[in-house]
Chains A and B, each alone.
Chain A
Amino acid sequence: MTIEKYLVKSASLSALFDKIKASGKVVQAPVKKAHTVDFMPVNAFNEITDDYIVTTQSAKSVAFPRVEKLFKYTKAKKEVTIADYAINTIPEVVMWGVRPCDAAGVSPLNAIFTWDVDDVIFTTKLKRTTFIGFSCQKSDACCFCTSVGGNPGATAGSDILMTKLSSGNYLAEIITEKGKAIQVLAPEFFEETPSEEKEKNLAQVPIQFNYLEIKEKVDAYFESDIWKAQAQRCISCGTCAFVCPTCACFDIQDENHGKVGQRIRNWDSCCFSQFTIHTSGHNPRESQDRRWRQRINHKFSIMPDRINAYGCIGCGRCSRACPVDMNIMEHLIGISQLAKK
């Protein structure tokens, strides 16, 4: 659909939230905790914070949570009974306060989960999620969305995008049918199109490198000392992957309790030293430089080749969360500056 533009008054925001809640949807929104700001199910508008550059964790957990119970099983002699995931219990969810970078991460994540087979749990959750984005008025030194094809007011991935104008009111862009369905819940709050331009109300995020060049360089420099130099201080934890909007690696485990059990899907990370260990004991990525190379390669070369999507949307979460200051933007600039081969 063509994007429709409306004005939502600052004072109407809370009432719009109430209408959405009253429709029976679950609303997840950024909530300030002692050390983090993260998406949480909220009941009242005043639980929501707008004081964040991006949330600590991405919005991906709405469709790809850290633990997903795929099915349950019961064993009785030779019979195994499986109780499938109850797809029909998946609620309608509104993700309120998603940043444009996070929204941009939905498409690559979806491409992974629909690459060969349709992951029904993931795709159903996604189908039942409406993303209400809020464009960025603020950015920090870790942000680099503009270097990977995004921008602080980009609409891709959001169903509605709100941009705060100088008056304090919001420009609401209705981007998809799902977004339209939200407007239909409370049409009285969507007023005439504002005249003020969107662009001048957005954060300024300077372009740091050309992401197409990154692909060219990671392909050309697969065998290079740069990976060792960059990965030296990395301590092989999974923080970067777990806060990343597009990291999709998981580990399947059966939790067995006698004759009953469940199969669960847990987040995993290519940075863990055991991630690629073979049954034989051989580990093709036994040192951290190889794992770091894989991380960058996967995001900037393998994903574009296989699913026509880049695996980095420039939110900078990994840089902020990293305990040893592996700053991905700094490293990507370093890679982009390698000589052409």
Chain B
Amino acid sequence: MVDIKKKANELLAANAVQVVIGFEEGTSGKSRAIFAQDAAGVDKLIFNSQCVLNLAVYLTKHEIKKLGKPAIIAPLPVMRAIIQLASEFQIKESEMAVLGVSPEGKLVEFQTFAAIESYLKDFKIAMDEKEKEILAKISNMSLSERFDFWMQELGECFKCYACRAACPMCYCHKCAVEQNKPQWIPVAANNLGNLEWHAMRAMHLAGRCVNCDACHNACPKGIPLNFLTKLMMVDAKEIFGQDGPSLKDGHLLSTFKPNDKENFIR
């Protein structure tokens, strides 16, 4: 943390950036985002296992862009989100500094997004044992069992859209759920409305999700909606060979390749 703070102060002092997006101590033992603009702000920076919010979500917010050029404290999920956002032309490397944090908590400096992509080759997204267990449990359900499982879980949803708000990849100014001419997704937080909302969101994240779990961590009802996108991620890898974010191939659902498999189309 000493290195990160030192670097953050250097960047601010040289006016190379105007704001450092990082974590500070929150209330009730929580951590939260801080937008440090001076040494006093930098002094508040922390980094620990409680820092689960994906800070990359702030890179595309117009309120935060107004603060000036940012430096962002970037553990692995943030690095992955940066690569995905860059591949979708949402951010540019000339417009930010990335203060990488290695899994050991050490500062990793990057001059280019390509350097981040290269660094991530050693840290491929991998499901841990608990995730594998839940994925297997869901995958082994019969179709009707799986439908019932999701209808029950999604039945809790009251459509606060915290999952969308916390997701770095949900940066649309007008989400498909807000399209009403025609209306694609029922607005009501009832069975149909919830199912369509979550199915649509998962599909929109196919091949784009960076497995940061920010959606699930944000959910006030604790819905395991991150497993919808995890399942999509498994499929994206198996069917299309998409193995995590890539600067070149970041658009699974909008990219056509002659050798794409078609055997899943019935």
Contact = CB atoms under 8 A, between A and B. Distances in A.
Interface string A226-239: 00100111011111
A233 B162 contact: no
A327 B26 contact: yes
Interface stretch (B97-105, B129-137, B214-222): B214-222
A137 interface: no
Given A34-B222, A253-B187, A274-B174, 5 more contacts: A36-B222, A237-B166, A238-B162, A273-B173, A327-B27
A266 B187 contact: yes
Interface residues of A, number: 44
A142 interface: yes
B200 interface: no
B175 to A, nearest CB: 9
Interface stretch (A7-15, A180-188, A318-326): A318-326
Contacts of B53: 323-324
B158 A66 contact: yes
A267 B70 CA distance: 35
A237 B186 contact: no
19 contacts: A36-B221, A57-B158, A66-B159, A67-B189, A141-B28, A232-B63, A238-B160, A239-B162, A243-B220, A255-B188, A272-B161, A273-B173, A288-B61, A323-B218, A324-B166, A325-B27, A325-B32, A327-B27, A327-B28
Contacts of B188: 67, 253, 255, 264, 266
B30 A235 contact: no
Interface string B118-136: 0000000000000000000
A56 B166 contact: no
Given A56-B220, A237-B162, A239-B162, A319 B189 contact: no
Interface of B: 26-28, 30-35, 53, 57-58, 61-64, 156, 158-162, 164-166, 173-174, 178, 186-190, 193, 217-222
B35 A140 contact: no
A127 B103 CA distance: 57
Contacts of A269: 160
B139 to A, nearest CB: 20
Most buried by B among A251, A266, A274: A266
A323 B27 contact: no
Contacts of A232: 33, 35, 63-64
Contact of A323 (B34, B35, B158, B217): B217
A57 B156 CA distance: 11
Contacts of A289: 63
B37 to A, nearest CB: 10
B180 to A, nearest CB: 9
Given A56-B220, A238-B161, A288 B63 contact: yes
A101 B217 CA distance: 27
Interface in A199-252: 228, 231-233, 235-239, 241-243, 251
Nearest to A287: B63
A268 B188 CA distance: 10
Given A237-B164, A253-B187, A323-B165, A141 B27 contact: yes
